[in-house]
Structure 1
C-alpha cells in the first residue's frame, strides 16, 4: 500500500518538492549576505535592500502562503476522489486490504510528506527574512507600509511553524471533500474556497484571543494622532514599532467610550487644533495590541488549532469511508 500510494502521489509531489527545493537553494545562497548587511546596517537594513532582496522577501512570503492551498487542492482533493471516479478503490478492497488501512496509509504518507515540505520551506523563509524582521522590529522602515512586524497579520501566516498547521488542515480538508463529493474538480474548488475562508477568519476574529493582549492609554498629541478619526484603527503611534494593534477606542474625560466629539472639536480649523481640542477636553485613546513577545505563543496556539482540525477531519474521512463509501 505504501508503494502504491507513493506511485499515485509522486507526480504532483515531485513537482512541488522540486519548486520548493529551488527556492530553498536560492534562499540559502543569498541569506548570509542579508545577515551580514543587517550586522552593519542595523535597523537601516530595510532602506538598503536591493531589488533582488525585496523580490525574494515577497516571493518567499507568498510561496509559504500558497503552498498549503496547493497541497489541499492538488494532493488532498484528488487523493481519494480520483480512485472513486475510476473505481480503482474496489480493486484494493477486493485484495484483502481493509478500507481503514487503505485510507490511513494514504492519509499518513501523503499528509506527513505535505506537512514536512511546508515546514521546511516555511522555516527557510523565516530564517532568510529574520534580518529584515529584526530591522523592522527595531523601528526600521522604507517610508512605506511594505515592511511590517512579523506579528502583523500581513506576514504572520508566512512565518514560523504555523504554515505546517495550515498544510495539514488543507490536506485533510481536500481529502474529505474528495471523499464526500467523489469528483476531483468540484472537490478542489470546495477545498480552495473553504481553506481561504478559514485562513481569513483566523486573523479577523480568532487569533487575537489566542494569547493575552496588552492595553495602553495614549494621550492625544499631534505626533501620535496625525490621522485620527473617531474610533479609528491603526492610526495611533503607540511608541512600539513591533506590535499588532487589534483594537482602539476613544475615551472621554471620564474614561468612558466617547460617542461624540466635544464642541470645540467641531469648530477647529486644522488637524493640530482639532487634536489640541480633544487633549484639552481630556480625551484619550485606549489601544489594545498583541506584543512582539506573543509571536511564538500565538504561533504555537494557532498551529495547535489547525493540527487539531486536521486530526478531526482525518477521523471524519475514516468514518465516511467505512460507513458511506461503496
Structure 2
C-alpha cells in the first residue's frame, strides 16, 4: 500500500531510520517529534490534498472571473431584467463543481482517515513507534491532530473560495438555491463533514487493523451518513407561510417568495377563514368540477411554506456543531480504544 493510502511504503526499519535521522537534526524545525514523523509517513497523502486544493482553487477563481465578466455586462450589482436568460451555462458549471466538491469529505475519509491507523497496525509500525518511549495515546493523538489540521486547512479553503464564487448570485438565481449543494459545501459544514469522515476512517482502522477493509467500511458507512444527512438537513429551519387571496382558478397568481427563499413541501389551499387545506383537496375531479368543489369550501388562494435565506448561516452552524460533536465523541472513542488495546 502506498503512502497516499496512509501506510508506510517502506518497512518498519525505514521508520526507525527516519526517527534516528530526526534526532540528529540541528536547528529549529516547523515540526518536531511525533508530528514530524506523522508528516513524513503521510506526506504523499497530505501533499496530494494540498495540490488538489490548489488546482480546485485555481479553477474556481478562473470560473468566477468569467462569470463576473458576464455579470458586469449585465450591470452587476444592479442586474438588468432578464439577466439570467443566458446565465445557465455559468450556473451549470458552478452546480456541477459543487456536486464534485460534496464528495471531498468521503474521499478524505477513505484515502486519508481509514489508512491513518490501520496502516501502522497492519505493518507493525505502531509497535515500533510505541517502543520508542511513546505512549499509545500520544501516537494516536499525533496522528489525529496533524491530520485534522491538514483536513481543516484544505476544506476550509475550498469552502471559502466556493462561497466566494457563489456570493455574487447568492439569492438571485432560482437554480442556485442555498438548500442544495451550497448548504453542504460552504461555511463550516464541509469542514465538519470532512473531520467526521476522517474520524470514521480512523475508527474503522483502529478496530479492523486492515487498510483495505477499513477503506471499504469507511466508504459504506459515510455513504449511509450522507443519506441520513440529506434527510435530516431538510428538516432544519423555521418555516414561514405566505398566502394569496386572488383565487385558484385560471390566471390565479401564486404567492411570491422572497429572493433566495426555499419552498418547503407542497403549495396548499387557503380558505376565506384562514383555514389551510391540503393540495389534494378535490383532486381527481374534472377541472370545472374541481374549481366548483374548491369554491364550495370557500378557497380564496394558495398557502406556501418557505425557509428564508437569512436562516442559512445559523442552520449551518447548528448542523456543523452537531457533526463536530459526533466527531469529538468518535475521536474520544478512538483514543480510549487505542490506549486499552495492544499494538
Instruction: Work out whether residues 115 and 205 of structure 2, in 8 Å CA contact, stay in contact via their aligned partners in 1.
Output: yes
SS, match of residue 208 in structure 1: coil
Shift of 1:250: 4.2
- Structure having greater relative contact order (Cα 8 Å, sep ≥ 6): 1
Shift of 1:197: 2.1
Q: Partner of 1:230 in structure 2?
A: none
Q: Partner of 2:6 in structure 1?
A: none
> What does the per-residue CA deviation read over 1:40-97, in whole Å, with 9 as the maximum and x for residues that have no partner?
422744433484x456413430232111111100110000001111111000111110
Shift of 1:293: 0.6
User: What is the correspondence of 1:99-248 to structure 2 with a 5 Å cutoff?
Assistant: 99-136=136-173, 147-150=175-178, 152-209=179-236, 211-218=237-244, 221-222=248-249, 238-248=256-266
How many pairs are equivalent? 301
- Kindly name which structure, 1 or 2, has the bigger radius of gyration based on alpha carbons: 2
SS, match of residue 245 in structure 1: strand
Q: Partner of 1:274 in structure 2?
A: 290
- Relative to structure 1, the CA distance from residue 204 to residue 92 in structure 2 (aligned partners, 3 Å threshold; closer, same or farther) is same
Shift of 1:33: 3.9
- Relative to structure 1, the CA distance from residue 261 to residue 288 in structure 2 (aligned partners, 3 Å threshold; closer, same or farther) is closer
Instruction: Work out whether residues 208 and 246 of structure 1, in 8 Å CA contact, stay in contact via their aligned partners in 2.
Output: no
Cα separation, 1, equivalents of 2:69 and 2:170: 14
> What does the per-residue CA deviation read over 1:201-233, in whole Å, with 9 as the maximum and x for residues that have no partner?
223134533x4332334555257989xxxxxxx
> What does the per-residue CA deviation read over 1:218-270, in whole Å, with 9 as the maximum and x for residues that have no partner?
555257989xxxxxxxxx765335222233474675736559734xx654246
Cα separation, 2, equivalents of 1:120 and 1:193: 27
Cα separation, 2, equivalents of 1:266 and 1:59: 39
Instruction: Work out whether residues 214 and 290 of structure 1, in 8 Å CA contact, stay in contact via their aligned partners in 2.
Output: yes
Instruction: Work out whether residues 165 and 303 of structure 1, in 8 Å CA contact, stay in contact via their aligned partners in 2.
Output: yes
Cα separation, 1, equivalents of 2:252 and 2:107: 42
Question: Any gaps of 5 or more consecutive residues in structure 1?
Answer: 142-146, 227-235
SS, match of residue 185 in structure 2: coil
User: What is the correspondence of 1:40-59 to structure 2 with a 5 Å cutoff?
Assistant: 40-41=73-74, 42=79, 44-49=82-87, 51=89, 53-54=90-91, 56-59=93-96
> What does the per-residue CA deviation read over 1:102-133, in whole Å, with 9 as the maximum and x for residues that have no partner?
00011010111012101101211111122233
CA root-mean-square deviation: 2.9
Larger mean CA deviation between 199-208 and 81-90 belongs to 199-208
Alignment equivalent of 1:35, drawn from 37, 50, 68: 68
Cα separation, 2, equivalents of 1:55 and 1:261: 37
Question: Any gaps of 5 or more consecutive residues in structure 2?
Answer: 1-33
Instruction: Work out whether residues 197 and 222 of structure 2, in 8 Å CA contact, stay in contact via their aligned partners in 1.
Output: yes
Shift of 1:274: 3.5
Alignment equivalent of 2:122, drawn from 85, 97, 101: 85
Larger mean CA deviation between 24-33 and 168-177 belongs to 24-33
Cα separation, 2, equivalents of 1:58 and 1:305: 26
Cα separation, 2, equivalents of 1:299 and 1:187: 30
SS, match of residue 157 in structure 1: helix
SS, match of residue 170 in structure 2: helix
- Relative to structure 1, the CA distance from residue 206 to residue 223 in structure 2 (aligned partners, 3 Å threshold; closer, same or farther) is farther
